[in-house]
Amino acid sequence: KVIKCKAAVLWEANKPFSIEEVEVAPPKEHEVRIKIMATGICRSDDHVITGALVMPFPIILGHEAAGVVESVGQGVTSFKPGDKVIPLFIPQCGECNSCLGTKGNLCSKNDLALGGGLMPDGTTRFTCKGKAVHHFLGTSTFTEYTVVHESAVAKIDSAAPLEKVCLIGCGFSTGYGAALQTAKVEPGSTCAVFGLGGVGLSVIIGCKVAGASRIIAVDINADKFAKAKELGATDCINPKDFQKPIHEVLIEMTGQGVDYSFEVIGRTDTMTAALACCQYNYGVSVIVGVPPAAQKITFDPMLLFTGRSWKGSVFGGWRSKDSVPKLVSDYMNKKFVLDPLITHTLPFTKINEGFDLLRTGK
């Protein structure tokens, strides 16, 4: 049956969300309909609102969530109603080169590059006021019910607290994996993390778990320093406190630059600074923040010629279906904390207030 429920619909760019009644169609073959119990707010959602990440409107955003399976479509055998699940904005189809190989995690069935805003069969499961509404990254979690393809959902421990582990759907896993999977931070190494939002803090958690001896946190908002230190940062620096470029400050602090740097903001100037601050011969710099659509980077190629590596990381390099249940188990076994990453808990209808808190750095 069609379910009528509340959703936060974005009708056009640079406007607030509108809480609407939407119709959510039943799941088709190999699809799963999920009751969303908790969803996180991520900067990537905000990038769609501002136009930095180009997607079609109207759209239901949201891609970091946890919920319970409500019903399954024909041919779905690995999920049943009542299962606790996390939707996956990077699916794992198990059939493409990326899924079959061992090198990467970016399944070719993802909607990040395409930005089509539709289910794999080219249609949508949402309607509002008689209009078709687009999906976001195959997940769309700013709604009480959503439909996802079975390759884009992971079954998790039935004892997991959904209001916490929803962060494993994007922000936490993205940052934690950038340190552990993409950079492969080594014990005793020195790291710099640019940007101390939820993802940047998760990078710090990953660096600490990996055994880094020095973790330098960089942000222009000093209010974020206490939390960064609580999670493992050894130094916190504000670029506004220095006359010279921040990469020079970091090189002076460390002798010859950091072993690993992470850009977790999504700005081209900080991406180049993060590259320049890492050790000139073997330093590794990882781009974690979603880059703005219309911008290009200009940099001195000598930065790479001497041996530095520049890498990108999508969803922390994790293969989603395989890794998300394991990450939830690691959380349940207290291998890492999530509570400090949660600053506010709001009712769904106050989603616009949530985005205001994000934009003001709170």
Q: Is residue 114 scored above 80 in pLDDT?
A: no
356: which 2 tokens? 């205001």
pLDDT over 90 percentage in the chain: 91
Map tokens 């899924």 to a residue: 99
Token pair, residue 129, equals 């006021």
pTM (two decimals): 0.94
Residue 132 has φ and ψ, to the nearest 5°, of -70, 140
For residue 350, CA distances in Å to 29, 130, 337 come to 34, 25, 26
Rounded to an integer, the average pLDDT of 113-124 is 87
Q: Is the pLDDT of residue 55 over 80?
A: yes
CB 11 within 8 A of CB 60: no
In the numeric block, the tokens 């220095």 are attached to 242
> What was the pLDDT predicted at 294?
72
Q: Is 47 among the catalytic positions?
A: yes
224 Rama sector, left if φ>0, alpha if ψ -120 to 50, beta otherwise: alpha
Catalytic-labelled residue, pool 5, 18, 30, 63: 63
Q: Does residue 52 have a pLDDT over 90? A: no
| Active-site choice (47, 134, 149, 247) | 47
Residue partners of 182: CB distance under 8 A and separation at least 6: 286, 311, 312, 313, 316, 317
Q: Which two tokens stand for residue 117?
A: 């805003």
- Residue 138 φ/ψ, nearest 5 degrees: 70, 10
**149 is known as an active-site residue:** no
> For position 361, what pLDDT does the model report?
87
Average pLDDT over residues 178-190: 98
Burial of 283 (0-12, 13-18, 19+ CB in 10 A): buried
* 131: enclosing H helix or E strand: strand 131-133
User: In this predicted model, what pLDDT tens digit does every residue of 250-296 receive, in sequence order?
Assistant: 999 999 999 999 999 989 999 999 999 999 999 999 999 888 777 88
For CA atoms 357, 339, 232, 304, the dihedral sign is negative
Q: Is 44 a catalytic residue?
A: yes
pLDDT attached to residue 123: 94
CATH 3.90.180.10 intervals, the chain: 3-171+317-360
Instruction: Determine which one of 30, 42, 96, 149 is catalytic.
Output: 42
User: Distance (Å, rounded) from C-alpha 266 to C-alpha 44?
Assistant: 10
Would you state the pLDDT for residue 290?
80
**C-alpha closest to that of 38 among 126, 134, 156:** 156
Whether residue 42 lies in the annotated active site? yes
Catalytic residue among 44, 173, 261, 285: 44
Angle at 169 between CA 101 and CA 158, to 5 degrees: 100
Catalytic residue among 170, 191, 236, 278: 170
What average pLDDT does this structure show over 202-229? Answer: 97
pLDDT for res 105: 95
Tokens representing 216 are 């330098």
CB-based contact 86:166 (threshold 8 Å): yes
> How many whole angstroms separate alpha carbon 152 and alpha carbon 32?
9
What distance in Å separates the CA atoms of residue 198 and residue 193, rounded to the nearest whole number? 12
| In the chain, ranges of CATH 3.40.50.720 domains | 183-312
Answer for the pair 133, 127: CB distance below 8 angstroms, yes or no: yes
Q: What mean pLDDT comes out for the span 53-69?
A: 96
Lowest mean pLDDT among 15-19, 110-114, 223-227: 110-114
Name the average pLDDT for the chain. 95
**The tokens 């470029």 sit on which residue?**
245
Biggest distance spanned by C-alpha atoms of the chain: 64
The highest-level CATH class for domain 3-171+317-360 is: alpha beta
**CATH fold group of domain 183-312:** Rossmann fold (3.40.50)
Beta-strand runs (E) in 266-350: 284-287, 309-312
pLDDT at 336 over 90: yes
Q: Answer yes or no: 63 catalytic.
A: yes
